[in-house]
């Protein structure tokens, strides 16, 4: 038996639920196919659980600093089981609410199982979900990514974790060894250090978070050093082997580290291998990601790729933005739509949720320097968080604010906000950049005092040309 829908969505990451409900609201039928848990990585193993656990870690950290604020406490300990229960309850609630929303939406059917293409039936696409055969006029792929674990000698002999396995733990690691010095490794390293684990981060690069500017990496390094995390940069793993208390990791220079748990935070791989894309001619790159045009269309008309799987940004917010682009371009007769930018026009913004957080959009200083070297008129200005009154009042003086502007168009090109409320402040700049307005309008704004963001007009007043090197 075959069931036909106007649309099939494979995978329920952040683009999928809102896309399904919006299409159903237009009177179209939608099959939402999910092989695991509704909500994708964000709800189940990403934003929702990690930010919930981060809060516990931050509360513990602030409690240990209580004397800095004139508050006396005794020894601060963390009930790891209670913290994990709180995290899992938050995940279960988010997933339950999402499921209820979808189930009460007329026109949306949730199909449980792993979906895979099976060619065409005339001009319709065929998708099999186990023994269930579906057809549709349009298919949207939103299957995301999974953790990548590199080949390491001896790895088959030792238990090891990815981000999903880490969040399934029921006992606090005595010593967590993390392979990877980028965003996930840093976020989880700081969380588990604050929860009470000894933490060692093995980083193959010369410095942490190499996508960021070198001075930002140095601040991150100092932050982790001060909190008692061991960082080993420019490290190459020779092998791992079991030990009496867990696992031993041995570097090529002979240094070794013994830990109770081993986590790999070494990047992501595309979830495209189960989709049988060849049966309908959808192309992938050498890493399994699905290239798209600016409207998120694949090389096959009628099939779109949304979210992490298209390689345009491994973030929940880019996935959600993808669905808005698709909706805005799929019904030209619907009148004015709020989303007019395509995926090539948007400027990618993101945050790293260390504490303090790092917010970033557009050009880094290194990018700006390259542009200046090519003859472009670039203006930049920095301010240390230690010069921001609100940050000092909060006792949160780590970090900096960096603004980058085009000297000719006066438009923002990029910003870094590393420090107190950096994740929120970068959203202010992202929203402003979307307007394409001159930075001078921001200079004329009336800010609220005392805030960190009130310093943005002041910093803009200190813009200076970036000299070529």
Q: Is 79 part of any known ligand binding site? A: no
Q: Is 185 part of any known ligand binding site? A: yes
Q: Is 8 part of any known ligand binding site? A: no
User: What are the b/e assignments for 395-429, b being 16+ CB within 10 Å?
Assistant: ebbbbbbbbbbbeeeeebbbbbbbbbbbbebbbbb
Q: Is 341 part of any known ligand binding site? A: no
Strands 175-179 and 261-264: parallel
Q: By C-alpha distance, which of 267, 269, 264, 309 is closest to 287?
A: 269
Q: Does residue 86 contact residue 52 with C-beta atoms inside 8 Å? A: yes
Residue that is written with structure tokens 């790999």 in the block: 264
Q: Is 115 part of any known ligand binding site? A: yes
Q: Is 169 part of any known ligand binding site? A: no
Q: Is 51 part of any known ligand binding site? A: yes
Q: Does residue 376 contact residue 339 with C-beta atoms inside 8 Å? A: no
Q: By C-alpha distance, which of 372, 429, 436, 441 is closest to 402?
A: 429
Q: How far apart are CA 467 and CA 103, in angstroms?
A: 58
CA distances from 151 to 154, 182, 261, 264 (A): 9, 18, 18, 11
Q: Is the N-terminal amide bond of 356 cis, ω within 30° of 0?
A: yes
Q: Is 181 part of any known ligand binding site? A: yes
Q: Where are the alpha helices (DSSP H) in 4-134?
A: 16-25, 40-45, 47-64, 80-103
Q: How far apart are CA 433 and CA 91, in angstroms?
A: 33
Q: Please list, in sequence order, all residues whose beta carbon lies within 8 angstroms of the beta carbon of residue 243, skipping any fewer than 6 positions away.
A: 258
The whole-angstrom distance between residue 149's C-alpha and the CA centroid of its chain comes to 18
Q: Please list, in sequence order, all residues whose beta carbon lies within 8 angstroms of the beta carbon of residue 367, skipping any fewer than 6 positions away.
A: 414
| 220, β-bridge pairs | none
What token pair was written down for 238? 């020779």
| 350, β-bridge pairs | 360
Q: Please list, in sequence order, all residues whose beta carbon lies within 8 angstroms of the beta carbon of residue 231, skipping any fewer than 6 positions away.
A: 181, 200, 201, 203, 208, 221, 224, 225
Residue that is written with structure tokens 């603004």 in the block: 403
Residue that is written with structure tokens 């943005």 in the block: 456
Q: How far apart are CA 94 and CA 44, in angstroms?
A: 9
Q: How far apart are the first and last CA of the chain?
A: 68
Burial class of residue 464, CB neighbours in 10 A (0-12, 13-18, 19+): exposed
Supply the residues annotated as catalytic.
Answer: 449
Q: Is 267 part of any known ligand binding site? A: yes
Binding-site positions for NAD(+): 180-187, 267
Binding-site positions: 51, 115, 180-187, 267, 308
Binding-site positions for FAD: 51, 115, 308
């Amino acid at each position: 038996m075959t069931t036909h829908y106007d649309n099939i969505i494979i995978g329920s990451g952040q683009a999928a639920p809102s896309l399904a409900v919006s299409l159903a609201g237009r009177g179209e039928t939608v099959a939402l196919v999910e092989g695991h848990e509704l909500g994708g990585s964000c709800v189940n193993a990403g934003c929702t659980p990690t930010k919930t656990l981060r809060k516990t870690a931050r509360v513990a950290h602030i409690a240990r600093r209580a004397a800095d604020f004139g508050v006396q406490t005794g020894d601060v300990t963390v009930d790891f089981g209670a913290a994990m229960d709180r995290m899992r309850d938050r995940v279960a609630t988010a997933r339950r609410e999402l499921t209820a929303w979808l189930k009460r939406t007329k026109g949306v059917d949730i199909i449980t199982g792993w979906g895979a293409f099976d060619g065409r039936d005339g001009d319709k696409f065929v998708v099999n979900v186990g023994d269930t055969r579906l057809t549709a006029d349009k298919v949207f792929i939103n299957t995301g990514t999974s953790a990548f674990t590199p080949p390491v000698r001896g790895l088959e002999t030792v238990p090891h974790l990815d981000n999903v396995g880490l969040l399934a733990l029921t006992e606090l690691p005595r010593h967590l060894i993390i392979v990877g010095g980028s965003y996930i490794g840093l976020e989880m390293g700081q969380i588990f250090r604050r929860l009470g684990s000894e933490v060692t981060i093995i980083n193959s690069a010369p410095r942490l978070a190499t996508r960021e500017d070198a001075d930002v990496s140095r601040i991150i390094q100092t932050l982790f050093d001060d909190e008692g995390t061991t960082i080993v940069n420019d490290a190459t793993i020779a092998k791992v082997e079991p030990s009496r208390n867990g696992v031993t990791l041995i570097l090529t220079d002979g240094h070794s580290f013994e830990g109770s748990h081993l986590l790999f935070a070494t990047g992501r791989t595309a979830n495209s291998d189960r989709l049988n894309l060849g049966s309908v001619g959808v192309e992938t790159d050498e890493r399994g990601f699905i290239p798209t045009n600016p409207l998120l269309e694949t090389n096959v008309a009628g099939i779109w790729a949304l979210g992490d799987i298209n390689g345009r940004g491994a973030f929940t917010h880019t996935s959600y933005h993808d669905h808005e682009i698709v909706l805005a371009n799929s019904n030209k007769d619907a009148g004015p739509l709020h989303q007019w930018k395509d995926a090539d026009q948007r400027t990618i913004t993101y945050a790293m949720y260390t504490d303090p957080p790092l917010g970033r959009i557009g050009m880094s200083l290194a990018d700006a320097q390259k542009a200046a070297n090519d003859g472009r008129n670039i203006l930049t200005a920095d301010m240390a968080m230690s010069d921001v009154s609100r940050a000092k009042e909060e006792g949160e003086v780590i970090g900096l604010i960096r603004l980058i502007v085009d000297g000719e168009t006066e438009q923002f090109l990029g910003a870094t906000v590393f420090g107190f409320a950096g994740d929120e402040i970068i959203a202010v700049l992202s929203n402003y950049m979307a307007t394409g307005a001159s930075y001078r309008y921001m200079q004329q704004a009336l800010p609220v005092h005392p805030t960190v963001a009130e310093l943005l007009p002041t910093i803009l007043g200190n813009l200076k040309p970036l000299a070529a090197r």
